[in-house]
Chain A
Amino acid sequence: MSSSNPSFNELDDIYQDIILDHYRRPRNKVNIPDPDLFSRGFNPFCGDEVTLMITLATENQIKAIGFTGQGCSISQASASILTELIKGKSLKEIMEISDVFRNLVKGLAVSDEDLDKLGELEALKGVSKFPVRIKCALLPWSTLEDAISKNKDL
């Protein structure tokens, strides 16, 4: 992919085709009525916004998930990938993924085994080279953690 201009090569690390595809065609960008878990995440610094709505199949397993929001390609693609990745998973598995993803975008070492859990999220690895954009990638995940923690029964 991409350009012959050398200063754009580094940008390919952050703006992978997968990311731009999720940005332009976000998955599960729908309102879910009567969600069991709900949170609106907002980044006051740049105005990025992600709202997550989740219904549970069992007390511990996600049935349906939708998001709404606006913001940069990184925050919105991260949200879109999140919704695809966590469907059907248990809350414990989700929290594990969230931890691994945090380490990945902060540039910390991640084992191959852990990397396998991330699926398309791995495409956001390059964000670690753009420190001010790390919070964009993490916004949907912080929002998810907030939605889960707000539900004390879980």
Chain B
Amino acid sequence: MLNPKEIRKDFPILNVNVHGKQLVYLDNAATSQKPNQVIDTLTAYYRNYNSNVHRGVHTLSIKATEQYESAREKIAKFINAPSDSLIYTKGTTDGINLVAHSWGLENIESGDEILLTEMEHHSNLVPWQILAEKNGATLKFIPVTESGALDLSQLNILLTSKTKLVAITQMSNVLGTINPVKEICRQAHALGAYMLIDAAQSVPHMPVDVEDIGCDFLAFSSHKMLGPTGIGCLYIKKAILETMNPVNHGGDMVKEVTLNQATWNDLPIRFEAGTPNIADAIALGTAIDYLTELGMDQVQAYEEHLTTYALDVLKGLSEDFIFYGIPDPTKRGAIISFYSPEIHPHDIGTVLDRQGIAIRAGHHCAMPLVNGRLGLPATARASFYIYNTEEEVDMLVDSLKKTLQYFNR
């Protein structure tokens, strides 16, 4: 089992005081904290070998290019993908938009259907709304059950020969639900549909193997997995990637340019026009090293342990709070949304903040799920990572009790 006490030593921010209290950071589904190793990689790049990639013959440029490309290899290996099928993006949103603007615009036709779910983050919903409107496609949605799982009994009705794309989150950022993407992918492929996975919440917290899942597209972000903001990755199956046209055009993505035309560079940098986010890509590689050393199966096991503990102790508050998500901690990630009919989530968030506890309050960029399906104005959400402890869960429970006392004065 992971030892969070040891892990915490690598995260300087965990010693920061908030309103005179030591920070208890439970907003990891929004963004994770960064270990010294990642911070040091960033500063080492800027201090020692800051240089542009793929063009210089000088020593620094060669080192920057090596580091940039070796990070890509590490990240690709991390999700069991070939490195020439992995595109650097700004993040999950950017990756999904790339698929919509390139593959989507050229392949989704009038009358086609795009199958999504009711639990998608806006980033895996709005790009498809725009595309559907442009190309005359129809959006369909797999419903969410009362317990917070996908209602897969509807799948064989919703999935038809008209379905061109199935785009689904692997882990809900509101409910923590882990969706059976491999099985859904199998059924999608059987009907000739393509499969995209929003892995923003899954890749940081559990082993993800694109080969095993068999998906066609998979997008994730660095900043939720110990890495810097502004960088992410998009995996695209090689055979599809070869048929796709780049969305951005300019330097680095071209092979030969004349005044009137250009030919595209090799994969995957064909999709990375302009000077890329070099420092953050290399630092994401360090985050991958950190997680690989811990072992993603160990990361998942620890978070399952912590979620089990949290769900158990939070039961003591079930008279005042409703807790959402599948009760079985093996079928969900370390994300717990809760709601009190008496105290609005923002007020809970403000009061917890004064205790040094950082949670998220709002619709979590999933308005159709929170406002629509759950029928709530917002939820409060605590989300955990490798450095969170049982003591911190106890502090959350204690502070929620104090919050109730305060508002019920």
Q: Do A and B bind each other?
A: yes
Nearest-neighbour CB distance to chain A for B320, whole angstroms, equals: 15
A70-B350 in contact (CB<8A): no
Kindly state the separation between the CA atoms of A72 and B406 in the bound complex, as whole angstroms.
15
Enumerate chain A residues within 8 angstroms of B370, measured Cβ to Cβ.
47
Selected from A5, A11, A46, the residue in CB contact (under 8 A) with B361 is A46
**A130 contacts B350, CB within 8 Å?**
yes
Closest-by-CB residue of A relative to B342 is: A24
Interchain CB contact under 8 A, A8 and B402: yes
Query: Quick check: B19 and A47 within 8 Å, CB to CB?
Result: no
A71, B407: Cβ atoms under 8 Å? Answer: no
Residues B406 and A47 in contact, CB atoms below 8 Å apart: no
Q: At the interface, yes or no: B344 with Cβ under 8 Å from chain A?
A: yes
Task: Tell whether A108 is near chain B: CB-to-CB under 8 Å.
Answer: no
Quote the shortest CB–CB distance from B27 to chain A (angstroms): 14
In the complex, A2 Cα to B367 Cα: how many Å? 35
Check if B21 sits within 8 Å of A15, measured CB to CB.
no
Q: Which A119-136 residues sit within 8 Å CB-CB of chain B?
A: 130, 133, 136
How many residues in A have their beta carbons less than 8 Å from beta carbons of B?
Answer: 24
Q: Decide if B407 touches A20 in the complex (CB within 8 Å).
A: yes
Least Cβ distance of A5 to chain B in Å?
Answer: 7
Which DSSP category, helix, strand, loop or mixed, fits chain A's interface? loop
Number of A-B contacts (CB under 8 A): 60
Q: How far is the CB of A52 from chain B (nearest CB, A)?
A: 18
A70 smallest CB distance to B (angstroms): 4
Pick from A8, A49, A73: contact of B347, CB under 8 Å = A73
Residue of A nearest to B370 (CB): A47
| A7 and B20 in contact, given A2-B409, A15-B407 (Cβ under 8 angstroms) | yes
Interfacial chain A residues near B346, Cβ < 8 Å: 46, 48, 71-72, 74, 133, 136
Given A10-B354, A15-B347, check contact A71 B377 (CB 8 Å). yes
Interface residue B243 (Cβ < 8 Å from any Cβ of A)? no
Partner of B378, one of A3, A7, A46: A46
Instruction: Kindly list chain B residues whose C-beta atoms are within 8 Å of the C-beta of A73.
Output: 343-344, 347
Q: 8 Å CB contacts to A: which residues of B356-403?
A: 361-363, 367, 370-371, 377-378, 402
Residue of A at shortest CB range from B21?
A7
CA distance A136 to B347 in the complex (A): 11
B-facing residues in A7-66 (Cβ within 8 Å): 7-8, 10-11, 14-15, 20, 45-49
Residues of A within 8 A of B (CB): 1-3, 5, 7-8, 10-11, 14-15, 20, 45-49, 70-74, 130, 133, 136
New A-B contacts (18) at CB < 8 Å, excluding given A10-B354, A47-B363, A72-B345: A2-B409, A3-B405, A3-B406, A3-B409, A7-B19, A7-B21, A8-B351, A8-B354, A10-B19, A11-B351, A11-B354, A45-B362, A46-B361, A46-B378, A47-B367, A48-B377, A70-B377, A71-B344
Q: Which 10 A-B pairs have the closest CB atoms?
A: A72-B346, A72-B344, A70-B377, A47-B378, A47-B363, A7-B354, A73-B347, A46-B362, A72-B347, A47-B377
Q: List 5 A-B contacts (CB under 8 A).
A: A7-B355, A10-B354, A11-B406, A47-B363, A72-B344
